[in-house]
Structure 1
């Protein structure tokens, strides 16, 4: 495995896998629609991760049960049976399968990521679920649970950066652009005195959204009454739209999620971004720990805690957490880089030798002391007697 290029301590948090285009694409499709070997879930998840790494649309789509996915979406909608049926029919077309796969799982041009099955996660809400993690070259991560049915196909997903099942998120986006007479918006508005005015805003907002005028959509969302803005469907919709508006809008939308649903462990990973942006590192640590209650003691989450500890000025704790991340998943490269950078900061040169020896053993046998400057910027270490001794013996360890 190639060690790559020089890196600095990464404090990036989550990158959002499902784009605003992806969920809106689901919703537009919905609105316009008016005897084999039994594999284990682990095997299916491993094979799916490999297909994701290959980035071939049709190969990825073959793992998904779009008919069942459409049924799940339709079951969550307040609408007529004819519209539900049309949605289910639309979702199992080849065009939808390819559009869904392209918008959800094909990385944007210039983005590099590695998909890997990690383990079976025991969740309170869903039971035991296979988990796939995406590690981005920029340092961010995404986690997904796979809902696998008896046909050995994936019928739904749960993404950490969305805090919801995809079928529920798609249904929410779809519901908002179905005809107003379906009753959903009326129930959302209740019997408030300004319900007619708000309904008019919804109609205008949804027309603007289909035109891609997201800034104007966001302004209307901001003007809705608080009792409506506090609904999870609206907050999810606002987060979705805000990603096409500005970082400030996205942060504001996450703030609403934190205000009304911040104690939910399934949304905790989404809120790490918010707390780091606001430099509320104690809250960020709590969010990561809550995410670990949902996703397990994952190496990437422990590594994220290490980065936040460093931002809080606690280098020793950051080193301890980085070592823990390495021990949990020795094949995960990122914590090694963080650990070396922290050891340089603390002038722990013998510790650097030990970490570099581990990297040599795990990733690249040709990585020797003479090649340190190819990958790292470690001026204090390279000036130390520990490094000079490693050069003389051509080995990081005696």
Structure 2
């Protein structure tokens, strides 16, 4: 059953993920790459070749899959398949790691009957370990045998790419372009090594839209700045961060081009998918108990608002206070102060909000007479929002993160074992 969004009559949220759009299939298998007793390889497959857009990590240390996929995007090569493994990142693996990307593509091309040059790859997990390529190849053969359309296969693929994630992350929407129904669906993984510097995880988005390559890349590149680049869990930008957007054109709509009303509709739908996945990752941060949302409103410029929001959401002291359900507003104002953005602290109003209510904490930079008990109740919910009003303009921005708990240390102290 589709659920209509109040703020956009042209778009519906539907059940599903990467297989929601026409012509896309998926599969998951247990290849024993590193994990035992669970699936750890996934396939996304399109009946028809797809145009591909992508954004990648800005980390100087780039994993082999990142370099492999960038070549495909930059060379404007069409793709019909993405092979993803969890458990081993294939990062810092030298020439051998790149050779394994090629061998993965070659095997996928052989068993799927597609062009080798367009096979995309994704890896996530421990850095520095070499992939067990024989298991990868065997896994690809199994994936090809069990791939299918439908919601279930997409969900299984979303589960297979998880590492320290505690829940699958998928979303899909539909909207109209002329008299044609267009679908965008996606899945992502991300729980640790999450920091806003494009792109902060693995995300795979599929659409059946007919769209120009330039419009596809522009839509994705523009949107990561407002979604994936506005989340942080621990301040670590990964070696493997990748977001891919594949369009197979099977919706049959009039081609979407940059600068048209249709492009704006596509961008809005893509934004919802990306933002939803981004918030899922932020809320599922390693050891997290709450999604921490920071809104900066009343700013002079968008850039000022973004800088301030990201500074607060990245503050370990603030994140620890959220974990302790402590309305330690001084940490928020402090994080804003060292962000590098100029503002007048004596004009700032600050509010905490959740399903338990909304409470003003400071007015014009100083504390108001608020109830600590009510503040603790508000901060004890699964989603907590801090809103800072600069009272200096009309610009605003939102960033997402999570609380910082002992669980984060427990997970990362022995991640390799």
- The normalised TM-score by structure 2 is 0.28
Query: If each structure's strand is expressed as a fraction of its own residues, which one has the higher value?
Result: 2
TM-score when scaled to structure 1?
Answer: 0.29
Structure (1/2) with the larger helix percentage:
1
